[in-house]
Amino acid sequence: MGTLLAFSFFAFRWGIEGVVHARKVQIVPDLKGKPVSAALDLLAPLNIALRKEGEEFNNAVPIGAILLQNPPPGTKVREGKVLKVVVSQGGETVFAPVVVGLPLRNAEMLLRQNQLVLGEVSEAYSLKYDKGMVMSQDPKSESSVERNSQVGVVVSGGAPPANIALMPDFGRKDVTEASSWAAEGGFQVAISKDFGALFPNGVILSQEPAPDAVLTPNPKIKLTISGRSKTTAAGPSKSIRYEVSQGSADSTVRIVVVDQYGERELFNGVRPPGSKIDLQVPDSGAGARMKIFLNGILVEERDL
């Protein structure tokens, strides 16, 4: 009986070690200074778990960001490893939230929740944002700023009067749309092509002036479009679904893609709890990420 028990014990131990050693070896990334949500996004593809061991005050690291980690960056671990982290309780610095696309009142409330103060409020006409919506902010979102700092915003005054011309937002639209607009207004447009672009031929990648900029007489308008061969099939795309979290009130959802061409807004609107948003996103190459904001707060990031 003793021999049988000993054999069973060693067989069980051998089996467990075999399972453990069959797991892939991964390199622990550097999580210091990153929000917990961003750290989870980095660890998910590596099949490494995260556990918060505690919190500490720190003036140099924004609240909610990772202060310490164990094992340290560069350590080789097997899949299934649990990383232990200490999260900063903040000090003199915080992350500036995203207030662009929110009504001014909501933006001010969100800044207060993040220990910041609404600063100078100016107004500008806009073709992109409805009247009363925040068009831009300074400092920019997700930047590290001192607690109780002022965040200045520019608020949309709505569509301009007839005597003021604004530059439309042609980002990711077909060049024919911009050409028709230019011909109607009597504007000259300089077009350059990016033959390495992943988007279909003729899609506008960047523009000058920027959207909502006031156009001067005889403006210099520059467009960079995709020069991808028309005979080449359109690049691959991904189906993306986001489900709005359950709650008692509607939420403002903003979805953007950040790639080599900058930031592109895919969706911006108010949706009820539990509703689903389905989008088709072109493959933008390595390093492209999708960011999802709920009521101005970054709630999720995905690699594309």
Tens digit of each residue's pLDDT (9 = 90 or more) over 228-253: 876 555 556 778 888 888 776 778 88
User: What mean pLDDT comes out for the span 191-199?
Assistant: 84
Is residue 161, in this structure, part of any structural domain at all? no
Is residue 77, in this structure, part of any structural domain at all? yes
Same domain, 192 and 215: yes
Is residue 74, in this structure, part of any structural domain at all? yes
Q: What's 213's domain CATH number? A: 3.30.10
Is residue 13, in this structure, part of any structural domain at all? no
Determine the Cα–Cα distance for residues 53 and 86; give it in Å rounded to an integer: 6
Tens digit of each residue's pLDDT (9 = 90 or more) over 155-165: 999 999 999 99
- Residue 269: pLDDT band by 50, 70, 90 thresholds? confident
Chosen domain end from 88, 113, 128: 88
Same domain, 242 and 286: yes
Is residue 197, in this structure, part of any structural domain at all? yes
Same domain, 80 and 129: no
Q: What's 57's domain CATH number? A: 3.30.10.20
pLDDT at 19: 47
Same domain, 147 and 196: no
Chosen domain end from 33, 58, 88: 88
Same domain, 263 and 219: no
Counting the structural domains of the chain, the total is 4
Same domain, 221 and 277: no
pLDDT at 79: 92
Q: What's 299's domain CATH number? A: 2.60.40.2560
Compare 261 and 184 and report the one with higher pLDDT. 184
What is the percentage of the chain residues whose pLDDT exceeds 70?
87
- Evaluate if residue 272 carries a pLDDT over 90: no
Chosen domain end from 156, 183, 202: 156
Same domain, 295 and 247: yes
What is the percentage of the chain residues whose pLDDT exceeds 90?
41
- Evaluate if residue 221 carries a pLDDT over 80: yes
Determine the Cα–Cα distance for residues 262 and 128; give it in Å rounded to an integer: 18
Determine the Cα–Cα distance for residues 113 and 95; give it in Å rounded to an integer: 11
The one-letter amino acid at 154: V
Is residue 113, in this structure, part of any structural domain at all? yes
Is residue 4, in this structure, part of any structural domain at all? no
Same domain, 110 and 71: no
Tens digit of each residue's pLDDT (9 = 90 or more) over 165-174: 999 999 888 9
pLDDT at 115: 87
Is residue 12, in this structure, part of any structural domain at all? no
Q: Which domain holds residue 271?
A: 237-303
pLDDT at 43: 92
